[in-house]
Amino acid sequence: MSQSDIGIYGLGLMGSNLALNFESHGHNVSVSNRTEGEGENLIASFMKEHGAGKRFTPSADLKEFVASIQKPRTILITITSGKPVDDFISSVLPHLDDWDTLVDCGNSHFEETRRRAASLRFKRINYAGVGISGGSEGARYGPSIMAGTTKKCWKSLEKILEPIAARSFDDTPCCLLAGSDGAGHFVKMVHNGIEYADMQILAEVYHIMRTLFKMHPSDISAKFRQWNYTSLGSYLLSISADILQVRDDSGVLLLDQILDSAEQKGTGRWTVQAASELGIQLPVVSASVDSRSLSALTGLRGRLSGSLFGPEPNSSSGLLRNTENALQHLEQAYLASRMIAAAEGFYLLTEASRHYKWTIDPSEIARIWQGGCIIRSELLRTIVAAYGQGSNFNHLLLSPIYSNRFRKLQEGWRETVTLAIKSGIHVPAMAASLQQYDALRSAYLPANLIQAQRDYFGSHGFRVINDPDGTHYHSNWNKQDLSDNTDDEPENSL
């Protein structure tokens, strides 16, 4: 067989499906995987399952693998992020030639990608950090692709990545260059942050339906399917409708047998950390990351569940007067909360692009997230429309197309959060989104008291309303005679 035009190292879930995707687009693909360790030999099993009559060249030996790819080489790395990627780069480097290209398609931290790109440039190797979203199905039939590399490297990479990508609503490829070095992995990380939020909000919707509205799982599934034909539609909603119908061999709902403890690989937490480094808060994503951590406290929750006082979710408590009405409110709360989560993610992208001198165009990000990826949804159509009106804003809430939708969503959103809180149901993402909305529409927040406290105990100074960008003032707070004000003890102390 002639030399391959692409190499894929790592034949796990993503690598094997990407290999099949490339092959079905006419590429000769060299495939490899580590063979040491006790695990199954992925090369052998991949070839056994998919190799017959296909243009794959398998190699267990790294030198042989590299030699089987035509120069200048393009090698996709589809392995576990972190140290494995550094180890692979060190071991493949001696076999590469000048300006071969390594493409890290895993969920690497964007700072690691920046470091690798910088160090490989000195070794005359092109490096691209490419976020791939869509799970196994996306990898096989069309993922959403977010790249970070040089414009020159992108010219050749684009030709091979664009054809295998998903298509957005306007039938353009869901594939773009987000900027240099770590930009692609940053965008993928924020995608995952929004993914965490979308999943948490939907879990809260399900929780309210199940525990308070006492809806049967198949009715919840039917409701989700109905919503999926509306502006609420999304991939995550559709798979959740499926999940609510899957039964095991004995006929029991599989979902009811799954431990209520969510795991996480780190991209959600990284999103919050990266935002925090830039002084940006992501309340809905943070609440969603925290919720996963909190869900893992199964032992503590189990012990406290019978002893801490509070309301029990109860449809006959009097709080829930009309379930049909409450369902309509929930629908509004679901959309409003997701809109705030998306807005905070896009705001982070805009600010990070400025900070890191990338070229992230939020409207383009919204476009390529319309297909292939886990957060693909009807909402992205609204976001594309909002940016289409002129991107002269850094926060989606500054777009009338976006912000006007909250008028109609208000009542249901507030009613739902209030109902959940009064009923003792944990809705951190919905509550955080509403709180964020209220904070952003508040010209005044009580941070003046915080500034006064900081100055009182630490002489940190404060700025004044009449000169907001000016001098810091300091007051000798405890030098005043306050005795008149402190005489009275409150009548009822808690």
Ligand X SMILES: O=C(CO)[C@H](O)[C@H](O)COP(=O)(O)O
Position 13 contacts ligand NDP (CB under 6 A): yes
Q: ω before 72 within 30° of 0 (cis)?
A: yes
Residue among 25, 216, 265, 303 that touches ligand X (CB under 6 A)? 265
Structure tokens at 127: 């490096």
| Residue 22 contacts residue 29 (beta carbons within 8 Å) | yes
Residue in 50, 51, 84, 245 binding ligand NDP, rule: CB under 6 A: 84
Catalytic residue among 112, 188, 204, 364: 188
Nearest to 278 by CA among 204, 364, 348: 348
For 48, list phi and psi in degrees, rounded to 5. -65, -45
Residue closest to 238 by CA, chosen among 292, 272, 198 = 198
The CB-nearest residue to ligand NDP is 12
Among 36-44, 236-244, 350-358, 415-423, the segment contacting ligand NDP (CB under 6 A) = 36-44
Tokens of 106: 């895993």
195 binds, among ligand X, ligand NDP, none (CB under 5 to 8 A by kind): ligand X
Which stretch, 93-101, 208-216, 264-272, 461-469, contacts ligand X (CB under 6 A)? Answer: 264-272
159 three-state secondary structure: helix
Question: Was 476 annotated as part of a binding site?
Answer: no
Q: Would you say 312 and 464 are in contact if contact means Cβ atoms under 8 Å apart?
A: no
- Is residue 264 involved in binding ligand X (CB under 6 A)? yes
Backbone Cα Rg of the chain: 26
* Pairwise CA distance, residues 230 & 132, whole Å: 27
Which range binds ligand NDP by CB under 6 A, 31-39, 152-160, 208-216, 469-477? 31-39
Q: Is 214 part of any known ligand binding site?
A: no
Q: Out of 78, 113, 192, 286, which residue is the one contacting ligand X (CB under 6 A)? A: 192
Neighbours of 101 (CB within 10 A): 20
Q: Which does 311 bind (CB under 5 to 8 A by kind): ligand X, ligand NDP, none?
A: none
**Is 135 labelled a binding residue?**
yes
Site map 108..147 versus ligand X, x via CB under 6 A:
-------------------------x-x------------
Residue 265 assigned to a binding site? yes
Asked if residue 350 binds ligand X (CB under 6 A), the reply is: no
User: Which span sits near ligand X by CB under 6 A: 78-86, 216-224, 260-268, 320-328?
Assistant: 260-268
Binding-site member from 29, 42, 380, 427 for ligand NDP (CB under 6 A):
42
Of 4, 6, 30, 34, the one binding ligand NDP (CB under 6 A) is 34
Handedness of CA 154, 159, 164, 168 (dihedral sign): positive
The vertex-377 CA angle with 376 and 381, nearest 5°, equals 110
Cross-sheet strand order for the sheet of 144-148: 56-58, 29-32, 6-9, 74-77, 101-104, 126-133, 144-148, 175-179
Please select the residue that binds ligand X; options are 21, 33, 107, 332, rule is CB under 6 A.
Answer: 107
CA gap 216, 211 in Å, rounded: 10
Binding-site partner at residue 264 among ligand X, ligand NDP, none, CB < 5 to 8 Å by type: ligand X
Please confirm, yes or no, whether 479 is among the known catalytic residues.
no
Residue 15 binds which of ligand NDP, ligand X, none (CB < 5-8 A, kind-dependent): ligand NDP
Terminal-residue alpha carbon distance, the chain:
82
Q: Which segments within 248-288 are labelled E, that is strand?
A: none
- Assign 30 to helix, strand or coil: strand
179 binds ligand NDP (CB under 6 A): no
Q: Which of the residues 23, 158, 195, 204 is marked catalytic?
A: 195
Does 33 sit near ligand NDP (CB under 6 A)?
yes
Residue 188 is among the residues annotated as catalytic for this protein? yes
Helix axes 283-295, 267-277, angle to 10 degrees: 140
Q: Which helix or strand (DSSP H or E) is residue 147 part of? A: strand 144-148
Helix (H) or strand (E) holding 366: helix 362-368
135 belongs to the binding site for ligand NDP (CB under 6 A): yes
Q: Is 412 annotated as a binding residue?
A: no
Instruction: Give the interface segment with ligand X, choosing from 86-94, 263-271, 435-443, 449-457 (CB under 6 A).
Output: 263-271
Contact (Cβ atoms closer than 8 angstroms) between residue 174 and residue 371: yes
**Residues comprising the binding site?**
107, 133-135, 191-192, 196, 265, 292, 454, 460
Q: Give me the residues that bind ligand X (CB under 6 A), please.
A: 107, 133, 135, 192, 195, 264-265, 267-268, 374
Pick out the residues of the known binding site for substrate. 107, 133-135, 191-192, 196, 265, 292, 454, 460
Residues that bind ligand NDP (CB under 6 A): 10-15, 33-34, 37, 39, 42, 78-81, 84, 87-88, 106-107, 132-133, 135, 265
